[in-house]
């Protein structure tokens, strides 16, 4: 497999998404130190030029900016055609994609277009002694880990958000190149997106990428009590999530739902408040680094997956926890 790594950087709200920055660090790790293998970042869309500076400081060797507004709206088939063409141009052996909703769709199409192996949901990645990539990903709703040996000459890997550390800005900057739009070849007719209505996810960070998620269940007794969780999430710099029981009751929009039929999250810290712990919810958060459960029922299933459990009245515990966090943080 070539030691040339191509990292696809997704832009959202005028800046690279955190999961893409994490992919840059992974690319550097598997390519080796500068001078051994090369890491190239590619940004697509009219906002790529302004975001290139941020990417150039994260340990890559080169940044390619394709400032074509045709890439502003995500079409997996169009992105796959462009990225595959660039990968051939630089003779890449591995393409890394952030595991966002767009990224998960892109991996399969890109692998087919580039004639490569595809692995999604990668939570760890290393090189075997013979240089073969070894990918680890959760399977069976997070109950087991699968090790995948990638022995093909080309591979497209989708990385799980928050599973890796994003590199800090370095003192040096990689070169930034304005790259012409690749030949996209024959493409099927595409629909035209005239606009987007943003999903309601609160005022904090995006739920799928947040390092801290505070989720509430039916134990909150009513939508008005979510202010307790909003205060706690605000003190921690986190995002708000919810169980399906909450969204089905109309307390929160469906975009807040964590679980099998909702969003999958993998934050550093997941706090489940008033959530019983049905398997449908657990599969959406089981890969969180640390899970804290707060529930008045000592037999609630959520305690079976929690690293720390607090049995008691959430209406007393959550405000006290929020106050203590603010005191410690001086906020």
List CB contacts of 80: < 8 A, sequence separation 6 or more. Answer: 106, 109, 110, 112, 113, 114
Instruction: Give which of 70, 81, 69 is closest to 8, Cα–Cα.
Output: 81
Q: State both tokens at 297.
A: 């029922």
Distance, in Å, from the CA atom of 63 to the CA atom of 177, rounded to the nearest integer, reads 6
Distance, in Å, from the CA atom of 200 to the CA atom of 219, rounded to the nearest integer, reads 22
Q: What is the mean pLDDT of each run of 10 residues along the chain (331 residues)?
A: 88 91 95 87 92 94 94 92 96 95 94 96 90 89 87 93 90 90 76 56 77 96 96 96 96 94 92 96 92 97 97 97 95 73
Q: Say which DSSP state 250 is in.
A: T
pTM for the predicted model, two decimal places: 0.82
Distance, in Å, from the CA atom of 178 to the CA atom of 63, rounded to the nearest integer, reads 9
Q: Say which DSSP state 167 is in.
A: P
pLDDT at 191: 59
Distance, in Å, from the CA atom of 29 to the CA atom of 23, rounded to the nearest integer, reads 10
Structural domains in the chain?
Answer: 4-178 (3.40.50.620), 212-329 (3.40.50.1220)
Are 42 and 83 in contact by the 8 Å Cβ rule? The answer is yes
């Amino acid at each position: 497999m070539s030691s040339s790594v191509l990292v696809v950087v997704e832009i959202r709200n005028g800046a690279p998404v955190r999961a893409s920055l994490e992919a840059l660090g992974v690319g550097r790790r598997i390519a080796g130190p500068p001078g051994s293998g090369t890491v190239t970042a590619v940004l697509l869309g009219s906002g790529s030029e302004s975001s290139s500076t941020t990417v150039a400081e994260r340990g890559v060797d080169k940044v390619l900016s394709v400032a074509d507004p045709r890439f502003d709206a995500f079409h997996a088939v169009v992105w796959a055609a462009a990225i595959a063409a660039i990968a051939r141009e630089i003779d890449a052996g591995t393409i890394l994609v952030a595991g966002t909703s767009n990224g998960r769709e892109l991996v399969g199409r890109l692998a087919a277009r580039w004639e490569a192996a595809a692995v999604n949901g990668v939570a760890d990645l290393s090189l075997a002694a013979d240089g073969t990539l070894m990918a680890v990903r959760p399977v069976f709703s997070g109950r087991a880990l699968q090790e995948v040996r990638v022995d093909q000459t080309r591979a497209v890997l989708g990385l799980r958000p928050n599973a890796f550390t994003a590199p800090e800005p370095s003192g040096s900057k990689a070169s930034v190149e304005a790259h012409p739009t690749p030949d996209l070849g024959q493409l099927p007719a595409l629909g035209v997106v005239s606009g987007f209505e943003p999903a309601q996810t609160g005022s904090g960070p995006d739920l799928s990428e947040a390092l801290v998620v505070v989720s509430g269940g039916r134990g909150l007794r009513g939508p008005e009590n979510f202010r307790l969780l909003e205060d706690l999430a605000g003190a921690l710099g986190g995002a708000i999530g919810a169980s399906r029981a909450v969204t089905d009751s109309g307390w929160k929009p469906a975009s807040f739902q964590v679980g099998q039929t909702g969003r999958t999250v993998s934050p550093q810290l997941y706090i489940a408040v008033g959530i019983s712990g049905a398997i449908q919810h657990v599969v959406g958060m089981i890969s969180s680094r640390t899970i804290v459960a707060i529930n008045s029922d000592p037999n609630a299933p959520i305690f079976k997956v929690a690293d720390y459990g607090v049995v008691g009245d959430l209406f007393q515990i959550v405000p006290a926890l929020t106050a203590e966090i603010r005191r410690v943080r001086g906020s």
